[in-house]
């Protein structure tokens, strides 16, 4: 209605989930809308995957990679992961740390696909390869589902039934030389879009990575976590794998991660569930609540044109 304009934005792709919140917040702040709804729905159970069609003419850059075996996102991330392991000594145990942290949180979440389905190191290490060095548990789930969040002004939020959570800062990022879904052609493929988004994100924030109480980091594949930890400034270049050691990503660790289970163990809805879980954490209603959580980083996919958002109480 004209007297109560509203905006709806859908999310497409792993780099997108944090961006609609930023656009809607800007629209509300500038008076273009009074209510914004961001949403994502997926029906992964329908239809064949696009890479199964061997007759279609491939777009650039896929025509240069798919004939040589980079058919799926798992293959593309697997290549980045192998390079990261070669450069910095990361191991499968580091990737297991990521998968385990997400699974442990899903085990606490009745809405998660992997609720009450524990993961052990033996299960991880003996699972089948999907695209070396990525095994079954390095890959996100296949999920049918839908989520949404509502954005209104801070003033209006005070009258809402639910405790408000505030959009503090947001950014989108694409580095120079980027080309395609996952980039192998720039000077440094291991410094991806997260580094660009992070510069803008922290520039407009009045706190730093050290002040983040809980993080919801896009996890379609386990290697994206150490790469994102570096890109968003939680550790130095090449230190992301070691950062996962000693329970750092668990509740009570240095940076509790993906507390609903994430794409690896709750559901894969292009990362939109990470936004909803971030809101739950700051409302104090998560199934794996971080005590006193007041700030949360939510990121979209590393390796692809990406976005991120900072939430706070």
Q: Which domains are seen in the chain, by residue range? A: 6-49+66-312 (3.40.47.10)
pLDDT per residue, tens digit, the chain (313 aa), is 334 566 766 655 788 888 988 899 999 999 999 999 999 998 877 666 766 776 777 777 777 888 888 888 899 999 999 999 999 999 999 999 999 999 999 999 999 999 999 999 999 999 999 999 999 999 999 999 999 999 999 999 999 999 999 999 999 988 888 877 777 878 898 999 999 999 999 999 999 999 999 999 999 999 999 999 999 999 999 999 999 999 999 999 999 999 999 999 999 999 999 999 999 999 999 999 999 999 999 999 998 889 999 999 9
pLDDT per residue over 170-199, tens digit each?
999 888 888 777 778 788 989 999 999 999
What does the alpha-carbon distance between residue 214 and residue 207 come to, in Å, rounded to a whole number? Answer: 14
- pLDDT at residue 4, as a whole number: 54
pLDDT of residue 97: 98
How many whole angstroms separate alpha carbon 68 and alpha carbon 138? Answer: 22
- Burial of 85 per CB tally in 10 Å (0-12, 13-18, 19+): middle
Cα-to-chain-centroid distance, residue 277: 11
Distance, in Å, from the CA atom of 250 to the CA atom of 237, rounded to the nearest integer, reads 22
H helix intervals, 42-110: 62-65, 73-88, 92-106
Measure the CA–CA gap between 157 and 161, rounded to whole angstroms: 8
Q: What pLDDT was estimated at residue 292?
A: 97
Task: Give the catalytic positions in this structure.
Answer: 218, 268
pLDDT tens digits for range 197-236: 999 999 999 999 999 999 999 999 999 999 999 999 999 9
Q: Read off the pTM.
A: 0.93
Q: What is the residue whose two structure tokens read 């959580």?
A: 293
pLDDT, position 61: 73
> CB-based contacts of 71: which residues, under 8 Å, 6+ apart?
51
Instruction: Provide the pLDDT for residue 236.
Output: 97
């Amino acid at each position: 209605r004209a007297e109560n304009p509203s905006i709806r934005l859908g999310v497409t792709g792993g780099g997108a989930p944090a961006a609609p919140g930023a656009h809607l917040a800007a629209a509300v702040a500038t008076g273009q809308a009074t209510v914004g709804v961001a949403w994502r729905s997926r029906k992964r159970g329908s239809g064949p995957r696009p890479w199964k069609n061997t007759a279609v003419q491939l777009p650039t850059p896929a025509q240069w990679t798919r004939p040589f075996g980079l058919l799926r996102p798992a293959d593309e991330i697997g290549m980045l992961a192998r390079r990261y392991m070669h450069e910095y000594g990361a191991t499968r145990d580091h990737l297991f740390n990521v998968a385990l942290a997400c699974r442990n949180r899903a085990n606490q979440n009745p809405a998660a696909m992997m609720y009450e389905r524990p993961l052990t190191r033996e299960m991880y290490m003996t699972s089948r390869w999907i695209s070396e060095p990525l095994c079954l548990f390095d890959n996100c789930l296949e999920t049918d589902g839908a989520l949404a969040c509502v954005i209104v002004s801070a003033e209006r939020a005070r009258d809402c039934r639910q405790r408000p959570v505030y959009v503090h800062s947001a950014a989108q990022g694409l580095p120079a030389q980027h080309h395609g879904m996952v980039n192998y052609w720039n000077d440094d493929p291991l410094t991806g879009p997260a580094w660009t988004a992070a510069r803008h994100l922290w520039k407009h924030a009045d706190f730093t990575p050290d002040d983040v109480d809980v993080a919801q980091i896009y996890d379609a594949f386990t290697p994206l976590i150490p790469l994102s930890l570096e890109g968003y400034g939680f550790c130095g270049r090449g230190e992301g794998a070691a950062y996962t050691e000693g329970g750092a990503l668990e509740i009570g660790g240095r940076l509790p991660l993906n507390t609903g289970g994430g794409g690896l163990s709750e559901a894969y809805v292009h990362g939109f569930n990470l936004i909803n879980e971030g809101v739950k954490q700051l409302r104090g209603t998560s199934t794996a609540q971080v005590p006193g959580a007041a700030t949360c980083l939510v990121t979209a996919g590393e390796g692809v044109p990406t976005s991120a958002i900072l939430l706070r109480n």
